[in-house]
Amino acid sequence: MPPRQAFSGSCLKLVFAFDSPVIQGINRFPAQEHSGGDCKIPSIICYDPDGDVRAVGAEATREYIEDEIEDNGWVKLKWWKLHLRPETMASSYVTDQDIPPLPPNKTAVQVLADFMHYLHQCAEKYIEESQANGADMSRSVEHTTEFVLSHPNGWEGPQQTQIRNAAIMAGLVPDTLEGRSRIHLVTEGEASLHYCLDSGFAADGFQDDQGVIIVDAGERTIDVRAYHMTTPPFCEEIAPAECRLQGSIFVSRRARTMLQEKLRGSRFGGDDMIAHMATIFDSTTKIRFSNENDPAYVKFGTIGDRDPNFHIRSGQLELMGSDVATLFEPSAEAIIEAIEEQRRVATKTISTVFLVGSFAASEWLFIRLQNHLRSLDLNFCRPAIYTGKAVADGAVAFFLDHRVSAQLPEGVMYYI
């Protein structure tokens, strides 16, 4: 059987189908060569004033990029995917005014297309560099590659059309019936289910006619779906899917606001320093924080950076753990409310909850949910490694083996 490929998500996955499919992750991206198996491209794009792409992903986080932005008038986009969200996802936590605007000569679909184009280039380069016959292999599947694209629960007709149009605009497939047939869409909830099933983490959850809930806690959204196994290994959805706009970037957003308030009047309270601290918080403090009774630290400077009146010593800002916990609490509450709603309307008794997604790496979030769900006599767990790649892995598994025999197409609910 000739080689066949399927690409999925910002954590790219390849499928090489010979006698049986083999899924192989792309573990090397520009500016992330030493990240290993957990590498993931940040959704960042820099444009120059003419609208040309100048840096993408980890390349857009290099130290010199900020100088380029200031000197050459580049625009750095981080939250651009939120511009694609359905209008029904209006939130008390975020409005259009809160999301950084797009460049005047770019639409959200065009930005998505530029990002997809970059991912495709990364995939082709990885194949050519990591396979003995990589260049020949890449050419041999150029016109037969299947693309599996995931999206949050509830992104229906208009958003799916935008995703397909972006894939065509990016040059992934031609704008023909045959080309469009090679674009496959899957919800992040269903992709997460396939990840759990293929990883073996859900096996014990589907017992005694019980249901399971998959919580995909990502950067932007919290996607929640409930399933029941009918005839193994096939499943059916047993409650309307839910999507809440309370992903990890909203913790970061609240952290930035808190830093501005706490450092007002300090020589470290300037916009550039706050932005630097917020970046450090996002990459280290947010992930490591686990106990509200212990202080948390943002190490942003050198040993000479001090301002004891603002709890800054040796280039390190000390934060009360109870203050940091308030940054996470709205997201935890959103997840708990979504789980409770799924349990209320599900047609089977829920026994197990699985937590996946990049936000699942947060120790505080895991412990907070664990304490609550155990009090309800629910089993609760998360995969051991690389939970941020659950959707990418699961999307490929979805493509290879559709296991959901029944879905609930109506009543996708937003509790924002």
Average pLDDT, the chain: 83
Separation of alpha carbons 351 and 147, rounded Å: 34
Q: Please say whether the beta carbons of 4 and 15 come within 8 A.
A: yes
Instruction: Dump pLDDT digits (tens) for 105-164.
Output: 899 999 999 999 999 998 888 888 887 787 887 788 888 888 989 888 778 788 999 999
Place of tokens 């706009």: 245
pLDDT at 262 (0 to 100):
95
Is-above-0.85 flag for pTM?
A: no
Using CA atoms, how far residue 91 sits from 86, 157, 265, 335, 373, in Å, is 11, 21, 31, 15, 26
* Tokens coding 23: 């899924």
Residue 291, C-beta contacts closer than 8 angstroms, at least 6 positions apart: 321, 364, 367
- CA dihedral 356→357→359→360, nearest 10 degrees, is 20
Instruction: State the greatest distance between any 2 C-alpha atoms of the chain, in Å, as a whole number.
Output: 69
Separation of alpha carbons 378 and 342, rounded Å: 13
Q: Mapping DSSP to helix (H, G, I), strand (E, B) and coil, where does residue 386 land?
A: coil
Q: Is 52 exposed, middle or buried (0-12, 13-18, 19+ CB in 10 A)?
A: exposed
Judge whether residue 47 has pLDDT over 80.
Answer: yes
Separation of alpha carbons 409 and 157, rounded Å: 12
Q: Mapping DSSP to helix (H, G, I), strand (E, B) and coil, where does residue 281 land?
A: helix
pLDDT at 413 (0 to 100):
25
Q: Mapping DSSP to helix (H, G, I), strand (E, B) and coil, where does residue 362 land?
A: coil
pLDDT at 93 (0 to 100):
55
